[in-house]
Amino acid sequence: MSGPQIPFPQSPIVPAMVEASHEIRFQCRRGIDCWNACCSNIDITLTPYDVVRLKRRLGLSSTQFLRDYTVPYEMEKDGIAGVKFRPVDGGTACRFMGAEGCGVYSDRPTACRYYPVALLSMRKQDEATDRDSYALVKEDHCHGHLEPRTISIAAYREEQGLPEYDELARGWRQLVLKKKSSGPSLGAPSLRSRQLFFMACYDIDVFREFVAAESFQSVFALTDEEQRSFADDVALLQFAFRFLKQVLFGEQTIPLKEEAAKARQEALKARRMEEEREAAARVLNEEEGSADGADEGFDD
Ligand code: SF4
Ligand code: SF4
């Protein structure tokens, strides 16, 4: 039986899955005796929207931000890549941790907003859409669980500004889930597909140049409104997710220009004919093989 597909590595603490209505007892507040303990030993996966928020906050290009503040990792063997925060040199603490707390608080990443809740986007292999469940992560160093406040996960998500963060990274989660749930049937993505995934999801400023290039513009039919919207990182990111559905899964999410569509149809037709030729040659070889065997058997 196939299990749920969970896109991100789980914490060593095995979580019990709960729904958004589930109430947790938790509060993080300035002055608590574990202040900053959670930010002293980090393992934070960034969503593409996190990257956009942080690179804007720091006034960097996406390329500079990725180089200086992140490390890439493989979400699965030979699979697509993710990025994590790079901790301080020679240590495990977050580079934005300060005595006053988080130095990028209003742009802090999704994982920091969720803590101590974890989002588990899942898709069962027999389901067409993904579902969100949650898990509570209880670590000894975090004393927020001892505070006298109960709150539903739904209300906690609102409090932490998460609906916007989740919505703007949904396309990325869907790509990761789809890749995982299609498993070996799709095979490992080519190096080129993995590079495109990394660029389109994380290095948005390079993706903008890629989209503006003649080689892209001559293939894809984009409206003027779409082209104008690409000045905005968030709009471009949503387009990037559409583009990747086409690249990774062959879905027709972006219309092709007439010439390119014709060329694509010709290429498909040629490929189909080649496959038919190969299949016919295989049948012929098998028939010849068995005829040879028959000749041997009846030789006198
Ligand atoms: S970004 Fe802020 S909240 Fe997140 S680990 Fe760093 S200091 Fe802590
Ligand atoms: S209560 Fe938990 S989340 Fe808040 S500072 Fe302490 S360890 Fe971090």
- Residue 107's SS3 state is helix
Cα separation, 4 vs 177, whole angstroms: 10
Within 6 Å (CB) of ligand 2, which residues are found? Answer: 28, 32, 34-38, 115, 141-144
Banded model confidence at residue 254, pLDDT cuts 50, 70, 90: very high
259-298: per-residue pLDDT in tens? 776 776 777 788 778 878 888 888 888 777 666 554 444 3
* Alpha helix ranges (H) inside the chain: 48-58, 62-69, 110-114, 153-159, 162-186, 191-202, 204-212, 214-217, 224-229, 233-249, 258-298
Any idea which ligand is nearest the CA of 37? Answer: 2
Query: What's the CA-to-centroid distance between 219 and ligand 1, angstroms?
Result: 42
Positive or negative torsion for Cα 8, 12, 15, 20: negative
The residues pairing with 114 across neighbouring beta strands, listed in sequence order, are: none
Tokens read off for 202: 């994380």
Banded model confidence at residue 28, pLDDT cuts 50, 70, 90: very high
Half-sphere exposure of 91 (CA within 13 A, CB side): 10
Ligand 2 atom showing the smallest separation from residue 37 Cα: 7
Tokens read off for 260: 């390119």
Ligand 1: which of 94, 110, 113 to mutate, most ligand atoms within 8 Å of CB? 94
Query: What's the CA-to-centroid distance between 258 and ligand 1, angstroms?
Result: 48
Whose tokens are 């082209």? That residue is 227
Cα separation, 51 vs 163, whole angstroms: 17
Least confident of 26-40, 76-90, 119-133: 119-133
Query: What's the CA-to-centroid distance between 20 and ligand 1, angstroms?
Result: 24
Biggest CA–CA distance in the chain, Å, is: 100
- Residue 83's SS3 state is strand
Q: pTM for the complete prediction?
A: 0.82
The residues pairing with 122 across neighbouring beta strands, listed in sequence order, are: 131
The mean pLDDT value of the chain amounts to: 86
Q: How far is CA 131 from the centre of its chain?
A: 15
- Run of H or E including 124: none
DSSP 45: E
Q: How far is CA 16 from the centre of its chain?
A: 23
The answer to whether the CB of 37 is under 6 A from ligand 1 is no
Query: What's the CA-to-centroid distance between 111 and ligand 1, angstroms?
Result: 9
208-247: per-residue pLDDT in tens? 999 999 989 988 999 999 999 999 999 999 999 999 999 8
Tokens read off for 81: 């890549």
Query: What's the CA-to-centroid distance between 22 and ligand 2, angstroms?
Result: 20
Any idea which ligand is nearest the CA of 116? Answer: 2
**Cβ count within 10 A of residue 78:** 10
Tokens read off for 84: 């994590």
29 burial level (CB within 10 Å; 0-12, 13-18, 19+): exposed
Closest CA to 165 of 283, 21, 48, 29: 48
Query: What's the CA-to-centroid distance between 227 and ligand 1, angstroms?
Result: 35
Ligand 2 atom showing the smallest separation from residue 35 Cα: 5
3-state helix, strand, coil in the chain (%, to 5): 50, 15, 35
114-173: per-residue pLDDT in tens? 999 999 877 665 666 677 889 999 999 999 999 999 999 999 999 999 999 999 999 999
Query: What's the CA-to-centroid distance between 41 and ligand 1, angstroms?
Result: 10
Q: What is the pLDDT of residue 157?
A: 97
Ligand 1 atom showing the smallest separation from residue 42 Cα: 5
User: Angle at Cα 181 formed by Cα 175 and Cα 184, nearest 5°?
Assistant: 110
Q: How far is CA 143 from the centre of its chain?
A: 32
Rounded to the nearest 10°, the torsion over CA 275, 248, 179, 79 is 100
Ligand 2 atom showing the smallest separation from residue 101 Cα: 5
Ligand 1: which of 35, 44, 65, 97 to mutate, most ligand atoms within 8 Å of CB? 97
